[in-house]
Amino acid sequence: MGPHRSSWRRALVAGAATALTAVGLVASPSAANAAVACEVTYSKAWEGGNSFGGNLTIRNLGDPLTDWTLTYTFPGNQQVTHGWNAEWSQSGSTVTARSLSWNANQPTGAQWEIGFNGSFSGSNPDPTDFAINGTPCTGDEGPGQEEQALVVTPTRVNVPEGGTASFSVRLATQPSDNVSVSVTAASDGDQDITVSSGSSLTFTSSNWDTPQSVTLAAAQDDDDTNGTRTINVTSEGLEPVAVTATEVDDDGDDTTPTPGERVDNPFEGADGYVNPDWSAKARSEPGGEAVADQSTAVWLDRIAAIESGSAGDNHMGLRDHLDEAVKQDEANGSRPLTIQIVIYNLPNRDCSALASNGELRISENGLQRYKTEYIDVIADILADEKYRNLRIVTIIEIDSLPNLITNLNVPDCQEAERTGAYVEGVRYAIDKFYEIPNVYNYVDAAHHGWLGWDSNFRPAAELFASTVRGTKAGLQSIHGFITNTANYSALREPYFDINTTVNGTSVRQSKWIDWNFYVDELSYAQDMRRELISLGFPSDIGMLIDTSRNGWGGPDRPTGPSSATDVDKFVDESRIDRRLHAGNWCNQAGAGLGERPQANPEPGIDAYVWVKPPGESDGASEEIDNDEGKKFDRMCDPTYEGNERNGYNNSGALPDAPLSGHWFSAQFQELLRNAYPPVN
Ligand code: BGC
């Protein structure tokens, strides 16, 4: 693994105003007949000295926009120096922000953000005269627009045969009159599923946002299939919402669950698979016993990893792991068992780093080989009836899609983008695994030190959405996303957050945070989830966070906020993440084990997981010959003095590291020592 470094960072250059091309006030609605109606909320993100940052949230209350131009005038002498999520320019006091290709299309009801940094002297009053395509944004709806909506959660419900299950309904905005909602079962589908209460609901101007419950019942039947029935939630004039209800059969020994039978959170109430290969290595280390029974993921990092190794390399193959998982499942009573499998073999893998380059190349028919020799083979094994009771979590292609957002200056990444190989490979994997009812797909969403700048955040979310939308089952074919895989970002920075200011200066201005919008991984993962849901993903998607090596305990851990008044000093003395730079990713010195794997730790987070097995190297600290396709990445060399992606800092890597994936005893020992929470 490797590549997280690449935060494409916006540099705020004082006096950069000259870099902006001045153009006049533009008011050119491209769709002349479209009714434009909009609302703009302006807020100062920070202010210090003669600089400030502004955020604008735009809401489309009118017809869908295919491109948009926002204009406003500064009441004072403010000057935009650098903006994002739009093409910014300023002429006199008039500011113009035009849509970019990825955010030009905004359907009715859409909300999006743009922002800028600026300079000023004297006072800094907020602008108020916002207009889109020349039409003032008054916050009133356009003619015929309806922003009211039914909010239904969840939209997939499992109803145990002979039992009941429920979902909830509320309104999106306050109505002026009462709103009646009907809930009815579709005429076709499994007739055993019925609406047992809540079939007619009334929302008033005072209780509109209190969820009301609808209960479904599934009658006992004699068949042994899991029938489904669509339940329609409707209200006059509003977009109807369909809920898919699946009866969970209790007859016979039906071992063929339907896709609808996937549970909401596969980690909840389940034990995690203990990988005997990893466990044995951990146990053989002094003190390792204390964590050797933790669940870690199984990495299929090359085609040969699928089959058991023979002489010389006697690793367990995928079937060995699944057979062992079935044993662990049988031994733990009625608790289900969750096993995590990392799918990690795209052609041009890890295109912007070297340490985890893989065996397949796009130019050598790699995408085809990925499909037939890798994904198809894995899917066949996972689909085996023997494994039907396991909850199989697939972690799909770490550091692939994010590289298409930030690293298109690297030829290997350009090729991945130009040929569509990453997107097509990821879709192929998702499609194949989604067909298997007990497999749960989680796609990699990098980490805050990579995508936490808004110039990367929204474009990445859009790419995730367009990629998954292109699968056979669309946005529902994945269960969620994973962040921080094999990375070191702290879960929480306890002594400051993104809104902290030091002596009037935002921590965002510190060298460490460098204008990022996130200081830690939990806030990033939760916001990324919200963003993805706003782009259409089901509201029941969940996030995973890899906490295998982000503990940052040990003697150097700060115990409270610094009292320094210089923002850099404050952040450096207060942060628990002790890396030299947040773009460092290889075998980080000073790191410790993080939160032990656990389900439902925080809202929106399905689980903390140990996907990167502690003790396995991120990359060799010097050139090592190998037949795994792995190259020497200087970010793993402790003597390396860095590049623009880590601010020319030292790599912070431990010395004497073996190839990525190989056992690295010294690192394991350090992770144990610096564990937080501490081990034992
Ligand atoms: C390596 C893989 C390895 C995985 C887990 C990655 O960095 O490239 O070969 O399986 O880490 O240790």
Give the pLDDT band of residue 47 (cuts 50, 70, 90): confident
Q: Among the atoms of ligand 1, which is closest to the Cα of residue 344?
A: 2
Percent of all residues in the chain with a pLDDT value above 70, rounded to a whole number: 92
Whole-structure pTM over 0.75, yes or no? Answer: no
For a substitution probing ligand 1, which of 344, 667, 671 has the most ligand atoms within 8 Å of its CB? 344
Q: Is the CB of 340 within 6 Å of ligand 1?
A: no
Which residue has the least CA distance to atom 10 on ligand 1? 661
Q: Which residues contact 312 (CB under 8 A, 6 or more apart)?
A: none
CB 87 within 8 A of CB 97: yes
CA 355 / ligand 1 centre spacing (Å) = 9
The enclosing H or E element of 154 equals none
Distance of alpha carbon 220 from alpha carbon 299, whole angstroms: 42
Q: Is the CB of 616 within 6 Å of ligand 1?
A: yes
Which residue has the least CA distance to atom 3 on ligand 1? 661
Parallel, antiparallel, or unpaired: how do β-strands 391-396 and 337-343 relate? parallel
Distance of alpha carbon 222 from alpha carbon 537, whole angstroms: 36
Q: Is the CB of 592 within 6 Å of ligand 1?
A: no
Distance of alpha carbon 650 from alpha carbon 621, whole angstroms: 13
CB 50 within 8 A of CB 117: no
Query: Which pLDDT does position 645 carry in this prediction?
Result: 83
For a substitution probing ligand 1, which of 278, 585, 632, 660 has the most ligand atoms within 8 Å of its CB? 660
Q: Is the CB of 278 within 6 Å of ligand 1?
A: no
In this prediction, residues 29-44 reach a mean pLDDT of 72
Q: Is the CB of 357 within 6 Å of ligand 1?
A: no
CA 661 / ligand 1 centre spacing (Å) = 4
Mean pLDDT score of the chain:
89
CA 342 / ligand 1 centre spacing (Å) = 10
Query: Which pLDDT does position 176 carry in this prediction?
Result: 86
| Tens digits of residue pLDDT in 362-379 | 999 999 999 999 999 999
Which residue has the least CA distance to atom 9 on ligand 1? 661
Produce one character per residue of 319-338: b if its CB has 16 or more CB atoms within 10 Å, e if not.
ebbbebbbebbeeeeeebbb
Provide φ and ψ at 405, rounded to 5°. Answer: -90, -45
Of the candidates 497, 642, 667, 521, the residue with the CA atom closest to the CA atom of residue 574: 497
Query: Which pLDDT does position 14 carry in this prediction?
Result: 27
More confident residue, 581 or 224: 581
For a substitution probing ligand 1, which of 301, 609, 632 has the most ligand atoms within 8 Å of its CB? 301
Q: Is the CB of 513 within 6 Å of ligand 1?
A: no
Q: Among the atoms of ligand 1, which is closest to the Cα of residue 619?
A: 7
DSSP class of residue 309 equals: P
The yes-or-no verdict on residue 676 having pLDDT over 70 is yes
The yes-or-no verdict on residue 16 having pLDDT over 80 is no
At 39 the three-state DSSP class reads strand
Strand partners, 354: none
Query: Which pLDDT does position 144 carry in this prediction?
Result: 53
Superfamily of domain 271-494+517-557+591-616: 1, 4-beta cellobiohydrolase (3.20.20.40)
Look at 134-143, 179-188, 643-652 and tell me which has the smallest mean pLDDT.
Answer: 134-143
- Which of 3.50.50.60, 2.60.40.10, 3.40.50.1100, 3.40.50.2000 would CATH assign to domain 150-248? 2.60.40.10
Q: Is the CB of 661 within 6 Å of ligand 1?
A: yes
More confident residue, 246 or 409: 409
In this prediction, residues 383-402 reach a mean pLDDT of 96
The yes-or-no verdict on residue 90 having pLDDT over 60 is yes
Percent of all residues in the chain with a pLDDT value above 90, rounded to a whole number: 73
- Asked if the domains 150-248 and 271-494+517-557+591-616 are classified in one and the same CATH topology, the answer is no
Give the pLDDT band of residue 32 (cuts 50, 70, 90): very low
- Which of 1.10.1740.10, 2.60.40.290, 2.40.110.10, 2.60.40.3880 would CATH assign to domain 11-136? 2.60.40.290
CA 587 / ligand 1 centre spacing (Å) = 12
| Tens digits of residue pLDDT in 459-469 | 999 999 999 99
At 80 the three-state DSSP class reads strand
Query: Which pLDDT does position 254 carry in this prediction?
Result: 39
Domains of the chain, by residue range, sit at: 11-136, 150-248, 271-494+517-557+591-616
